[in-house]
Chain A
Amino acid sequence: MGDVLPAVVGGYFPAAVAFGALARLLHLPWILAVLLSAVVYSGALQSAVLGLWAVGADVPTMVGVGVLVNLRHVFYGPHLERLHPEWSDRARWAIAPLLTDEVYAAAVAHPEWPARRLFALAAAAWATWQAGTWVGLGLGALVPAGWTAVLALALPALFLTLVLPRLRDGATAAGVAAAALLAAVVRWRGAPPSLLVVPILAGTSLSFWLAERRRRPAPGLGEGRG
């Protein structure tokens, strides 16, 4: 775990500080910021909520976009189940709430790890996220109001950083471009934030459709099953 722990902790702390500071600057109730970090615990979802809070989105919109942003998590558990069918239910219940992209990546990269070791990493990452949130909430009070716009750039920067490593093929790039373009149209037209689900689902479906087309063998070239 020596190589993974510093990477996860070192990456989580500044991101959590940025979330806490932004929450303070965007006038999110501090208890809401603390609870989001503690019980929801997802940088992407929390940042999405911040962005939507800033534009006055309603609760159903924030929940809807949040569910979509984290829908990739539904794939993590079944994959870990395939890697570790021997893990107890207790281990599953303990690790699942702490599963993040990085913890999942560590689990896949180190399939030899026992559940206890993965839980230790996940718990350290969670504790780091909580500490960073509190520090950010404190620092946010010290930042002059005029600097809110500067700190607010952390949100698109965060999502851009999440997008770039995932651009692995043309299908994904096309889906990303379509989602970005449609999101720009939604925003340019002044549509309600709830319509953000449209570019997300359209981009996903386009990307999936293009990838599936590529997966199909050309007629006459595929191997028969019989």
Chain B
Amino acid sequence: MTASAWVLVAALMLASALERLGPWLWARRRPPSERAARWLEHLAPAAFAALVVADLPRSGSPAVVAALAAAAVVGWTTRHLGWAVVAAVAAAALGRSLAGW
């Protein structure tokens, strides 16, 4: 593994620890403002939406549509990320087989 990969792991580990534990310990002394908490509630949907677009492949539209539709339906009904991912991959594989993508 390269030095930059080690730096990546170390930085993400530190950031994750700070994000999870830091505010919890800090909240014992001083609770966060309600306004900041409300702003943070809006962050996750926007971040996930941007990442959907960023990770979409540039080609293979029938399989892409099948995969995303399957993930949306399974994820919405089961509320399970794991099964939604399995459904997406299965639908994409089926689309690939049928359409020769």
Contacts and interface: CB of A to CB of B under 8 A. Distances in A.
B52 interface: yes
B76 A150 contact: no
Contacts of B82: 10-16, 18
A150 B27 contact: no
A225 B45 CA distance: 34
A81 B50 contact: no
A71 B93 CA distance: 34
A97 B17 contact: yes
Contact of B88 (A157, A180, A184, A193): A157
Contact of A176 (B39, B49, B87, B89): B49
Task: Give chain B's interface residue range (CB within 8 Å of chain A).
Answer: 35 or more
Nearest to B81: A15
B29 to A, nearest CB: 10
B51 A48 contact: yes
Given A71-B19, A154-B89, A161-B85, A40 B13 contact: yes
Interface in A91-118: 92-93, 96-97, 99
Judged by DSSP, the binding face of A is helix
A183 B24 contact: no
A137 interface: no
A62 B89 contact: no
B44 interface: yes
Interface string B77-88: 001111111111
Contacts of A13: 82
Contact of B41 (A48, A75, A186): A75
Contact of A92 (B17, B21, B76): B21
Nearest to A105: B79
A97 B20 contact: yes
A89 B36 CA distance: 24
A182 B27 CA distance: 34
A74 to B, nearest CB: 4
B3 to A, nearest CB: 10
Contact of B80 (A7, A32, A81, A204): A7
Closest 5 A/B residue pairs (Cβ): A77-B24, A203-B46, A157-B88, A161-B75, A157-B71
Given A71-B19, A183-B53, 8 more contacts: A69-B47, A77-B23, A96-B24, A155-B51, A157-B85, A161-B72, A196-B51, A200-B46
Interface of B: 1-2, 4-5, 7-9, 11-13, 15-17, 19-28, 31-32, 37-57, 60, 63-64, 67-68, 70-72, 74-76, 79-89, 92-93, 96, 101
